[in-house]
Amino acid sequence: MRPIVAHISLPALAHNLAQVRQYAPHAKVISVVKANGYGHGLLNVAQGLTDTDAFAVLSPSEAIALRDAGYQQPVLLLEGVFSAEQLVDVDRYRLDMVVHHAAQITWLQQATLSAPIRVFLKLDSGMHRLGFQPADYQHARTQLASCANVSDIVLMTHFANADVSNGVTQAMQTVAQVMADQPYQRSLANSAAVVQQPHTHADWVRPGIMLYGATPIAEKTAASLGLKPVMTLQSALISVQEIQAGESVGYGSLFIADKPTKVGIVACGYADGYPRHAGTGTPIAVNGKLTRTLGRVSMDMLAVDVTDIAEAQIGSPVELWGALVPVDAVAQAAGTIGYELLCAVASRVPFKVYG
């Protein structure tokens, strides 16, 4: 068996959830576990988030998986239903749903449910992705308030720029105008807003990436925010060789040594989810010591500089990302974000849950 494995830490998840509550002590927490738990495994992460007040997923199938596993907390469908037929599962599994367009209201009005459900009415406060326009929001709310299939309404929006210090100013002005003097709870804050926009916390916060120990704010490290990495992507050296000055490593000969260099080959490549565009110098750790990648990442392997790690040998452990190598640092080297790397770990990589 190849040595690559993704370790998932339940204690780190529980710690990060507790950290959310430190940032937003007066709000209830909807833990966002869509995209297969941000690549960690939906039911894996649910084990570490048993103290959450609610879960949020993308599809009814994810919600059903949580229910079948015994989770009784509210489960919110972040994009609502995609057809009237899906309301059967919403009713059967007692799910909450976002309502962001008029057709969903019509489906609710026409449905026959065993009991009313809670809906989150989404306002487009400037992101222009999903949600009712401010001019249409009150009418949508009135329709839902009079709908026999709706038990409760939570007013909701999503911020486009919560990671910028003043990035929610305009959005919050819209929220204040549209949601003022309404007898309903509100859910506004994503991870970035949880961390640095305390005036947006309201009644329900919706942390996502921060639960997994990556940063929602480019200028701040996850560690500086008190977060712990949940996933450690680990492999091992499967070859060690020495090259001379002028010799190259990998496809395209992108790395050419300027001095004698000891090169380790790691059993991990872009088919495992490691970013192909992570060039020479991307941080990596061998035997617990930080070093750098060399040359182009290939499908199943990548090269690392072990010149200054005398004990490096075949079988030496390698951390691709985790406690020593923040996933955000690898993402930055590859020109992307930590979210993408965590979500992109391939199905051929085995997962081991501990804690």
Catalytic site positions: 34, 251
Distance CA(49)–CA(38), nearest Å, equals 13
Distance CA(192)–CA(164), nearest Å, equals 9
Q: Which helix (H) or strand (E) holds 230?
A: none
Name the phi and psi angles at 185, rounded to 5: -70, 165
Closest to 82 (Cα-Cα) out of 112, 61, 113: 61
Q: What is the residue type of 241? A: Q
Q: Exposure pattern of 76-89 as b/e (b: 16+ CB <10 Å)? A: bbbbbbeeeebbeb
Residue 63: count other Cβ atoms within 10 Å of its Cβ.
26
Cα Rg, the chain, nearest whole Å: 23
Distance CA(100)–CA(120), nearest Å, equals 8
**Cα–Cα distances in angstroms (integers) from residue 258 to residues 172, 253, 336, in the given order:** 55, 13, 29
Residue 108: count other Cβ atoms within 10 Å of its Cβ.
25
Residue 65 CB-half CA count within 13 A: 20
Distance CA(154)–CA(186), nearest Å, equals 5
- Helices and strands: H and E segment counts in the chain: 11, 18
